[in-house]
A and B are shown apart, each in its own frame.
Chain A
Amino acid sequence: MSEPARAEPAAPSDEDPVLEVQDLHVTFAGRVGLGAGVAGKKAAVSRAVDGVDLTLGRGEVLALAGESGCGKTTLARTIMGLETPKQGQILFMGEPLGTSTKVLREYRRRVQIVFQDPTAALNPRQTIYESVAEGLRIHGVTSQDGMSEEKLVARALARSGLRPPETFFLRYPHELSGGQRQRVVIAGALVLEPEIIVADEPVSSLDASVRGEILKLLLGLRDDFGIAMLVVTHDLGLAWTIADRVAVMYLGRIVEIGPAEDVLTRPLHPYTKALLEVVPEAGGLNRPYLSGEPPDPTRIPEGCRFHPRCPEVSSGAAASAGVEPKCLGEDLGLVELQPGHFAACHLAAARQGEAVSTTSD
């Protein structure tokens, strides 16, 4: 594998997305103490995912970034069919996702997940062969492409870079290194020939020198088998390394989405800008950062949900552009400000409007 310059795959077309998420809402009920409950106090509802629209093209790598608590993992879990949305729907290959066990089971074969920590994801008492074959057995796949279970497991291990595969069959997770364990998890997903892999922080628990190889493997799967990937991460450097498009989430909403080059080098939303500021780098210590911690999804602010922490609001930039009342009072969705590049920001939209009107003058 020596391919420094990978051929850019054909741009994913919007007409044929493998996955479409429409106006998705997921809420979690809070808990109240017994006394408060008797007194008629209602539990606060946590709006973990609060109106998300998203498409994933065939063979596309989409990075979903944001701080912990922003809802990115809940969104990924809902896409996996592990949480039930309160509102909105998920379309897979153009068909709305049903709720029956049979439909969900078939769907879960075609959408696979790779978790953050392979040590936790693998059963320590199961051999590598059993771990990889488990998915086949659950889905009742006894043979595929004229290959027996053993051949299928061997092929998946080999495709994940564990060669020769037979030498791994009877080994246990503790005998493998962290990178190898993550390859086993990937083989377990791959053996079912999925259309989509959802990877939740796929390399953050791995040693730095091993990460690159796992990312190479994931990109290779996309190129060789056209598997689409949703990569959930807090690491924008990782997004830069592998993603075609980047979506930035804040408090249950996508606040910016677009081609990775645009979002990461020419961000439009002040939250994306703040996230990029805090990526550690030499001499970066005196950079600005947002104070406080992400607000509580049970109390989402009125207006633009980012306004209480927004540096553009606190510096007065929003006021001098005349959009501050909107920031404080008007909730807005994503607006296409550049081709394919959307952001949910009143100020960015106003600036864009100005630029358009001055060029047309």
Chain B
Amino acid sequence: MSVLSVRDLEVTYATQAGPIPAVRGVSFDIDKGEVLGLAGESGCGKSTVVNAILRLLPAGATTSGEVLLNGEDVLAMKAGRLRAVRWTGASVIFQGAMHALNPVQRIGDQLAEAIVIHKLSAEREARLRAGDLLEKVGLPPRRLRDYPHELSGGQKQRVMIAMALTCSPSLIIADEPTTALDVMVQAQVLSLLNELQHEMGLAMLFITHDLSVLVEVCDRLAIMYAGKIVEEGPSGPVFDEPAHPYTEALAAAFPAIGDARFRKSPSGLGGDPPQPDAIPAGCSFHPRCPVAFDECATVNPDLYEAGERRRAACLLVKQAAEVPS
């Protein structure tokens, strides 16, 4: 059984200008010990997916579909059950640790808080566990007495990781966990996350716009564009031989140093990602697509088979599959 199974998730925000579809039918599974990377640009709906999984969306949002966490539908849970599942079933490492920590509370108190609230152990044991967790993420336990401003950016991000582990969840959602960090510190944090994930057999949903980071840490990738997944599959092949033209453009934004193809020839897409309130008809990517043809403006592609365990939402992929080889 998958740790997380998202089925036909749709999220619509109600605004004064009318309903805005942010997520338009997203499905994926994450197994125990698997890392799924969800990539896409700002506004593609990836953060909305994260918030929908733990029902953290604002009141004006309507959600449909299913979010099965260890087989139980989060979207159908009563408030009490939902509170119990948050942090023990799935926890989040939020973006920008510098803003996610409470500046006037000691690190130790913040770490122990979740354990105490979930009544997993008494205050004293919670503190001991907090110390153990700090060691696990590579910080000395004496740091429990520190305030957030006494830590560097990388250290704060380590505390955020420890915090996500406090209640031993089966799923960790990492939302842009290294975006605000320096390259060298980013490498340290990624390698720590990878170690912990392997050691504890965690399922992980990793979200970022940086495809090169995802390729490094994820088993599988899902690429989102305009509220939908447009390509999914094992991370290496998806990055190296993209089936969808959007994935190809995204991958080209992270050039391999030493690869003569990228030298002095930056490649990008014309136009901009669509606003969620003005998604083009047909394939939502067609106005920016370098290989679009007439049909793309009218037909909204499904995810078609694109090789072993791979799928892509592109009519060219469908055509290639139909031609008997």
Q: Which residues of A contact B (CB under 8 A)?
A: 3-6, 8, 67-68, 177-180, 207-216, 219, 234-237, 240-242, 260-261, 264-265, 274-287, 289-291, 293-294
Minimum C-beta distance from B162 to chain A (A): 18
Minimum C-beta distance from A248 to chain B (A): 12
Contact A5 B188 (CB under 8 A): no
7 contacts between A and B (CB under 8 A): A213-B268, A216-B266, A240-B255, A241-B262, A280-B216, A282-B239, A283-B236
Contact B257 A237 (CB under 8 A): yes
Encode contact with A along B225-246: 1 for CB under 8 Å, 0 otherwise: 0000000000110011000001
Give the CA-CA distance A284 to B212 in the complex, in Å: 10
Q: Does B322 contact A (CB under 8 A)?
A: no
Q: Does B191 contact A (CB under 8 A)?
A: yes
Contact A282 B258 (CB under 8 A): no
Max chain A CB contacts within 10 Å: which of B210, B213, B235, B266?
A: B266
Q: Does B60 contact A (CB under 8 A)?
A: no
Contact A265 B257 (CB under 8 A): yes
Q: Does B263 contact A (CB under 8 A)?
A: yes
Contact B266 A241 (CB under 8 A): yes
Q: Does B139 contact A (CB under 8 A)?
A: no
Minimum C-beta distance from A284 to chain B (A): 5
Give the CA-CA distance A294 to B212 in the complex, in Å: 23
Minimum C-beta distance from A256 to chain B (A): 15
Q: A240-B257, A278-B187 are in contact. List 15 more A-B contacts (CB 8 A).
A: A178-B42, A209-B250, A210-B273, A212-B269, A213-B266, A213-B268, A234-B183, A240-B258, A261-B263, A278-B186, A281-B212, A283-B216, A285-B216, A289-B184, A289-B191
Max chain B CB contacts within 10 Å: which of A67, A209, A213?
A: A209
Contact A282 B191 (CB under 8 A): no
Complex interface: chain B residues within 8 A of A275 (CB): 183-184
Identity of the chain B residue whose Cβ is nearest the Cβ of A271 in the assembled complex: B184
Contact A207 B256 (CB under 8 A): no
Q: Which residue of B152, B210, B270 contacts A280 across the interface (Cβ within 8 Å)?
A: B210
Minimum C-beta distance from A246 to chain B (A): 10
Beyond A67-B182, A274-B184, A282-B216, is A208–B272 a contact (Cβ under 8 Å)? Answer: no
Contact A209 B41 (CB under 8 A): yes
Q: Which residues of B contact A (CB under 8 A)?
A: 41-42, 152, 154, 182-188, 190-191, 194, 209-213, 215-217, 235-236, 239-240, 246, 249-250, 252-258, 262-270, 272-273, 288
Of all A-B residue pairs in the complex, the 5 with the closest CB atoms, nearest first, are A212-B268, A215-B266, A278-B187, A208-B253, A177-B272
Minimum C-beta distance from B251 to chain A (A): 9
Minimum C-beta distance from B126 to chain A (A): 29
Give the CA-CA distance A304 to B240 in the complex, in Å: 40
Complex interface: chain B residues within 8 A of A215 (CB): 266, 268
Contact A207 B273 (CB under 8 A): yes
Contact B182 A68 (CB under 8 A): yes
Complex interface: chain B residues within 8 A of A242 (CB): 264, 266
Identity of the chain B residue whose Cβ is nearest the Cβ of A176 in the assembled complex: B272
Contact B273 A289 (CB under 8 A): no
Q: Which residue of B184, B187, B265, B269 contacts A209 across the interface (Cβ within 8 Å)?
A: B269
Give the CA-CA distance A208 to B43 in the complex, in Å: 12
Minimum C-beta distance from B139 to chain A (A): 13
Q: Which residue of B216, B239, B254 contacts A208 across the interface (Cβ within 8 Å)?
A: B254
Complex interface: chain B residues within 8 A of A276 (CB): 257
Max chain B CB contacts within 10 Å: which of A179, A180, A208, A237?
A: A208
Complex interface: chain A residues within 8 A of B187 (CB): 277-278, 280, 287, 289
Q: Which residue of B185, B188, B191, B215 contacts A281 across the interface (Cβ within 8 Å)?
A: B215
Identity of the chain A residue whose Cβ is nearest the Cβ of B252 in the assembled complex: A212
Give the CA-CA distance A240 to B263 in the complex, in Å: 6
Q: Which residue of A216, A237, A282, A290 contacts B236 across the interface (Cβ within 8 Å)?
A: A282
Give the CA-CA distance A151 to B194 in the complex, in Å: 56
Minimum C-beta distance from A289 to chain B (A): 4
Beyond A212-B252, A282-B236, A289-B187, is A241–B263 a contact (Cβ under 8 Å)? Answer: yes
Contact B268 A293 (CB under 8 A): no
Beyond A68-B182, A276-B257, is A216–B215 a contact (Cβ under 8 Å)? Answer: no
Complex interface: chain B residues within 8 A of A278 (CB): 183-184, 186-187
Minimum C-beta distance from A182 to chain B (A): 11
Give the CA-CA distance A277 to B188 in the complex, in Å: 12
Complex interface: chain A residues within 8 A of B249 (CB): 209, 212
Give the CA-CA distance A281 to B210 in the complex, in Å: 11
Minimum C-beta distance from B16 to chain A (A): 16
Contact A280 B184 (CB under 8 A): no
Identity of the chain A residue whose Cβ is nearest the Cβ of B250 in the assembled complex: A208
Q: Which residue of B152, B183, B209 contacts A207 across the interface (Cβ within 8 Å)?
A: B209
Contact A211 B253 (CB under 8 A): yes
Contact A213 B270 (CB under 8 A): yes
Complex interface: chain B residues within 8 A of A241 (CB): 255, 262-266
Beyond A208-B211, A212-B269, is A264–B253 a contact (Cβ under 8 Å)? Answer: no
Contact A209 B268 (CB under 8 A): yes
Complex interface: chain B residues within 8 A of A234 (CB): 182-183
Give the CA-CA distance A114 to B245 in the complex, in Å: 30
Identity of the chain A residue whose Cβ is nearest the Cβ of B275 in the assembled complex: A177
Beyond A275-B183, A278-B184, is A219–B266 a contact (Cβ under 8 Å)? Answer: yes
Minimum C-beta distance from B221 to chain A (A): 11
Contact B255 A284 (CB under 8 A): no
Give the CA-CA distance A341 to B35 in the complex, in Å: 42
Minimum C-beta distance from A359 to chain B (A): 26
Contact B217 A285 (CB under 8 A): yes
Minimum C-beta distance from B107 to chain A (A): 18
Contact A4 B265 (CB under 8 A): yes
Minimum C-beta distance from A261 to chain B (A): 8
Contact B236 A289 (CB under 8 A): no
Give the CA-CA distance A290 to B186 in the complex, in Å: 11
Complex interface: chain B residues within 8 A of A286 (CB): 191
Minimum C-beta distance from A61 to chain B (A): 9
